[in-house]
């Protein structure tokens, strides 16, 4: 299956996903209105085929280019470092461990606010009114 059938948004999604983002994060980064659309994109055969093709090409990168890529930590390595830091040892201070936990929580969407469509704000103006 050719990647020529993918839209530019779909290609951007694939690049972001292959770069270590979650499907939801990659969908937002690619410009989709709803991040939850990332799961639907992952169900498409042409998306999965393009991601597989990208992985194959990455595996065939010349060794000199791989050496250059080694200077930047991949997503899995960063997550492993943050997890190890969060769990910490006796030498790791609590502030550093909490920061690592916060970064992991953000990455995993633990702090995402739920949006409600019908939320209303009610303002009660009772300034200057005294009850006797």
CA 11 to chain centre: 16
In three-state secondary structure terms, 10 is helix
d(CA 79, CA 96): 15
* pLDDT (tens digit per residue) in 40-85: 888 889 998 888 888 888 776 554 555 555 677 788 888 888 888 8
What are the residue boundaries of the structural domains of the chain, listed by start?
1-62, 73-106
Average pLDDT over residues 28-32: 87
pLDDT of residue 63: 47
User: Which pLDDT value is given to residue 55?
Assistant: 83
Cα–Cα dist 85/98, whole Å: 9
pLDDT in tens, 71-128: 777 888 888 888 888 888 778 888 998 998 888 888 887 776 666 566 777 888 878 7
Architecture of domain 1-62: Orthogonal Bundle (1.10)
Q: How many CB atoms lie within 10 A of CB 2?
A: 9
């Amino acid at each position: 299956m050719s990647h020529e059938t993918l839209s530019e948004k779909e290609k951007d999604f694939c690049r972001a996903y292959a770069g270590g983002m979650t499907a939801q994060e990659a969908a937002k980064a690619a410009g989709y209105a709803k991040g939850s659309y990332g799961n639907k994109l992952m169900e498409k055969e042409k998306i999965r085929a393009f991601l597989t093709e990208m992985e194959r090409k990455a595996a065939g990168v010349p060794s000199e280019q791989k050496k250059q890529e080694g200077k930047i930590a991949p997503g899995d390595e960063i997550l492993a470092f943050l997890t190890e830091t969060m769990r910490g040892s006796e030498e790791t201070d609590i502030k550093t461990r909490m920061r690592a936990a916060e970064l992991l929580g953000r990455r995993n969407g633990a702090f995402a606010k739920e949006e409600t469509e019908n939320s209303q704000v009610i303002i009660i103006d009772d300034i200057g009114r005294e009850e006797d």
